[in-house]
Amino acid sequence: MPPVTLALVTANVAIFLLQMAAPAIVVPFALWPVGSARIGGSQVGFEPWQLVTYAFLHGGLLHLGFNMFALYMFGGPIEQVFGGRRYTFYYFVCVVSAAIAQLAVSAMTGTVYPAIGASGGVFGVLLAYAIYFPRNRIMLIFPPIPMPARVFVLVYAALELFFGVTGTQEGVAHFAHLGGLVGGFIVLQYWRGTGRLRR
């Protein structure tokens, strides 16, 4: 694994272990909607650092495992294309844009639940992979159908939009995932427009 991808995976795993030992760290570092609410006798609400810290918390071993496997699979090749500095910038732009999308949806729907997970950053990395390696084949877990990366991303984005609009999968921040895609797309379009990272 290239160094930044390795550092991100290591940090996520280490913080997950800390989370298991001290579950209370989730409360101040998860992404809470703007405003405040009383949860378990404590007053909680949005703080600026949560735009980043939420992405290092996970809701269980499977949640962590899927995100880190995707980061390992797709992040390494993209880090080699971008270089460490731009890859780091790109990843965290996707994390923050995912958080902003989640905050906007929470404000519109009035939900008071926190969001956690690296999925916003991972979705941005997946978009970059589809753009720079569009013909590489990716195998779906279910159904097990191989498809080109660009088709995979389009299908995945459509499913996220469908689930988000219909509320079919509760407890999953579908619009945050889409926010990560949008943030990544904007950065890539800017870089390509300035002649950077053109392949």
- Highest averaged pLDDT of the listed ranges 13-22, 141-150, 176-185: 13-22
Report d(CA 126, CA 74) in Å as an integer.
6
Lowest-pLDDT range of 97-101, 124-128, 158-162: 158-162
Quick one: DSSP state of residue 72? I
Is residue 105 assigned to a domain?
yes
Is residue 175 assigned to a domain?
yes
Structurally, how many domains does the chain consist of? 1
Is residue 199 assigned to a domain?
no
Is residue 179 assigned to a domain?
yes
Quick one: DSSP state of residue 115? B
Provide the phi-psi class of 83: left if phi over 0, else alpha when psi is between -120 and 50, else beta: left
Nearest C-alpha neighbor of 119 from the set 31, 182, 32, 58:
58
pLDDT (tens digit, 9 = 90+) per residue, 10-27? 999 999 999 999 998 888
What's the domain range around 120?
A: 3-193
pTM: 0.87
Kindly report the CATH number assigned to the domain that includes residue 115. 1.20.1540.10
Give the per-residue pLDDT at 199: 45
Buried b / exposed e along 26-47 (16+ C-beta atoms within 10 A): beebbbbbeeeeeeeeeebebe
Is residue 198 assigned to a domain?
no
Cβ neighbour number for residue 194 with a 10 Å cutoff: 9
Nearest C-alpha neighbor of 177 from the set 105, 111, 113:
105
Is residue 110 assigned to a domain?
yes
Quick one: DSSP state of residue 179? H
Is residue 181 assigned to a domain?
yes
Nearest C-alpha neighbor of 49 from the set 31, 22, 36:
31
